[in-house]
A and B are shown apart, each in its own frame.
Chain A
């Protein structure tokens, strides 16, 4: 079972439908967590949402509690939430991407995806990861082909993944494939 934590985004149910293609999904608001079901879930997904990671201390708590025990996936705000818990700085960016389709490149040979392969993806983010960023077992594996901003990280050891872009957006081609690969890793 996959537990999706909704940060009250208007894209969350696209995420729900995308994951439901692969497994049973439970989705609740970030402040109405069903502890019992969360404990039973094999995978936890942090949804996109407005604001910044500091606005969601409950989600940070959940991440820290289950890190290493369950597979954890973050999308957009969820991506930032995980990195924030790993002591990253999440900052405003000069150029803002809302409803923007852009090309990203797989930049690491340790990625589940083939190095140098390219994807068209949909982006909805005001904030970004400040670099350089280092955390044990974490690696930035995808970047915007033009601006080089971090677009995905993988921690294949503890099974923690994050996408700054939206795999569930209609602007992302092969979004289901990305999720399938992460879920089956």
Chain B
């Protein structure tokens, strides 16, 4: 059994560590023997070499970390123009030597935490958002994109205890892909609900979410499902993502093996309902880890569709680097199995600055004010942690 004060001791020791949601609780990884900071030159070698490392298949025979948005674009041949950047690394992976299983109840609280931080500032105000929104709507009318997600970013000057934030966050929201990283010079906290890659042997699945509904006392699973089914806009967005993910999987899977395993179901979480599909396939022989990552990342459901032209539209528009946002966090085991999420609902704290990015989709029938407010609601859940 793990003692109650284990987390507190670890946190105080200043040792870097990572916590990732597991089926029954959380897994904690620490005692990192290697840390690899990714760039465009070493990323392919990292992905290919790592998968060939076939050792004893211990639970720690894996690399865990994240790919940022930019490096995933570059990996599929999409360049991003010069942006305002924090010079935060494009991706970092760690080789842990210790893995500890934690229960669902993470006990840690920092009484000394100074919570009063600077108020958050948004990078795009309502008017600028409307201008971008209208521009993209025209692009939908002319067929250049069918769905596009505008990203807005809230940031402030702050110093935070990442573990304290994470524990409070998962208390109210036990997202299935939640994770945190604490290293010496940065931390990431995320309650991502979305799994992008789950690969075991030659089976691969992806579980896109399109459609979220806040829980109320009047709602139940059946009513939530009816809401999604009747909502034509949500249905169309979801359909598009399902076909896109089928196509991404088809790049690397055997003909006829790509199937929708769960079609448009509702999943219940602590305070929300998600409209979810599960799509899977059998990998073609000799598919490399790099092939899989290039086929699936960056995850389509948070970008828009079709992926390449939509990424180009976004990258021409956005003046600030997305950093980790809409990148992927997860691990690659030495036997080639892997699990990756999509980094959303996240806080990046680096150089005493916090940033929270959020995005919502523009389709032909969306409304600028509604989407702008929706973005604020998504960010607020995280900004409230600073109070």
Query: What is the interface of chain A, defined by CB distance below 8 A to chain B?
Result: 8-14, 16-17, 20-21, 49-52, 77, 92, 96, 98-101, 122, 124-127, 166, 169-171
Contact = CB atoms under 8 A, between A and B. Distances in A.
Nearest to B309: A50
B237 A50 contact: no
Q: Is the interface of B mostly helix, strand, loop or mixed?
A: helix
B255 to A, nearest CB: 4
B364 interface: yes
A99 B142 contact: no
Contacts of A125: 143
Interface string B295-309: 000001000011111
A55 to B, nearest CB: 9
A10 B363 contact: no
A8 B251 CA distance: 13
B146 A99 contact: yes
A10 B140 contact: no
Given A11-B306, A122-B239, 4 more contacts: A17-B258, A96-B141, A126-B146, A171-B243
Q: Which of B145, B246, B248 has the most CB of A within 10 A?
A: B246
B237 to A, nearest CB: 6
Contact of A126 (B141, B255, B305): B141
Contacts of B235: 99
B146 A122 contact: no
Given A10-B244, A10-B300, A170-B243, A21 B143 contact: no
Nearest to B146: A98
B239 A126 contact: no
A175 to B, nearest CB: 11
B250 interface: yes
B287 interface: no
B236 interface: yes
A43 B235 CA distance: 34
Given A17-B256, A20-B255, A98-B364, A50 B145 contact: yes
Contact of A14 (B238, B243, B263): B243
Given A8-B306, A99-B235, A13 B146 contact: no
Interface in B239-293: 239-240, 242-244, 246-251, 255-256, 258, 260, 263
A13 B251 contact: yes
A92 B144 CA distance: 12
A10 B76 CA distance: 13
Contacts of A98: 140, 146-147, 236, 240, 363-364
Contact of B309 (A51, A92, A99): A51
A170 B260 contact: yes
Interface string B38-64: 000000000000000000000000000
A96 B250 contact: no
Contacts of A16: 250
Contacts of B244: 10-11
B143 A14 contact: no
B236 A126 contact: no
A126 B137 CA distance: 11
A152 B380 CA distance: 48
A92 B142 contact: yes
Given A99-B238, A101-B239, A13 B250 contact: yes
A98 B140 CA distance: 10
Contact of B364 (A8, A12, A17, A96): A96
A51 B243 contact: no
Nearest to A9: B306
Contacts of A170: 239, 242-243, 246, 260, 263
Contacts of B306: 8-11, 49-50
